[in-house]
Structures are given as structure tokens and as C-alpha cells.
Amino acid sequence: MKLNYYNLMASKIQKIWRGYYVRKYVFDFYSRRRYIEALKLKNEIIRIELQEYIEHQTILHKRIQEERDKQMSEYNARKNHYLVSTYVQPGIYNSPFLPYKSDVPKHLPVPPIKPQGPFREPEEVQKQRYKPFQPSLRVATDIDSLQKAREILKAEEWVTRHHDDM
């Protein structure tokens, strides 16, 4: 009986102590507020650092792209250097003093190419193209049709044969 009483009192003491401990250290409002403020400050610092990193990366990518463009232009200049001497000068037909190009044709226009001649009607051509298939005798008959015909004749002759020896 006393043991039950002591157990009951011990559980009450533990309950009160747990409540006190949780309110003081686990669910402490002031320490949680300090934690959230520190978290906000750290988030701002990280945002600023990320923004600086993004700016640094964009500058780096632009520099790399400019270097690539410069290398490509140098490569094209080396590759096509011989074309410098073949630069086309404006000719006598296009005067630099005129505000517009002259209308002197440089070549004659090509006449339209149309098929000429007496042609059959399209229906007749379609009829010829899509006429029904007429197989040759070799294709129309079976390879061993002669042998089959002989067997059929033998069978008929066997059925209609007359025996005199009966």
C-alpha cells in the first residue's frame, strides 16, 4: 500500500518536473525568438553571397563567350584570308553618286519552260497506267499442273476401266 502511494507521488513529481523542464528549455519563447532572428540574419547573408556568386558567374560566362568569339573571328580570318584580294568593287552600272541602283539588267530573263507537243488525254494515260494485271501463261498456271492433270486422268481411267477377266 505504501509502495503504491510512493509510486503515485513519484509520477506526480516527474510530471511536474517534465512540465517545468519542457517550458523552460524546449518550448522557450525567448530562445526560439532569438533563434528565428539569427536564422533571418543568416538567410540574408546567404542571399547576398548567392547574388554575388551569380554576378561573378555571369561575368565569367561573358568573358568566356567573348574569348570564344574572338578565337572564332581569328580562325575565320586565318581560314579565309585569301578572300581579301577578291573583294568586289562596285561596277559601272551602280554609280556611288546615284541614290538608287540603276535598272540595267545584268542578264536576260530566262523564258518560261513549258512542255510543248501533242499529248494524250490524262484519262487515257491513267487508264494505261492502272490497267488490270494480266499474268502470262507461265505465271497463271501451276508448275506441276501437267503432272496433276496426268494423275487425274489416271484416276478417271482407273475408275472407268472394264475388266474382261471376271
Domain map (residue ranges) of the chain: 3-81
pLDDT in tens, the chain (166 residues): 899 999 999 999 999 999 999 988 888 889 899 999 999 999 999 999 999 999 999 999 999 999 999 999 999 988 888 777 776 666 666 666 777 666 666 677 777 787 777 788 989 999 999 988 888 877 778 888 889 999 999 998 888 877 666 5
pTM check: above 0.75: no
What pLDDT is attached to residue 83? 77
The residues, ordered by sequence, that sit 6+ positions from 26 with a Cβ below 8 Å of its Cβ are: none
DSSP 85: G
Q: In Å, what is the CA distance from 45 to each residue of 32, 39, 41, 56, 163?
A: 20, 10, 6, 17, 122
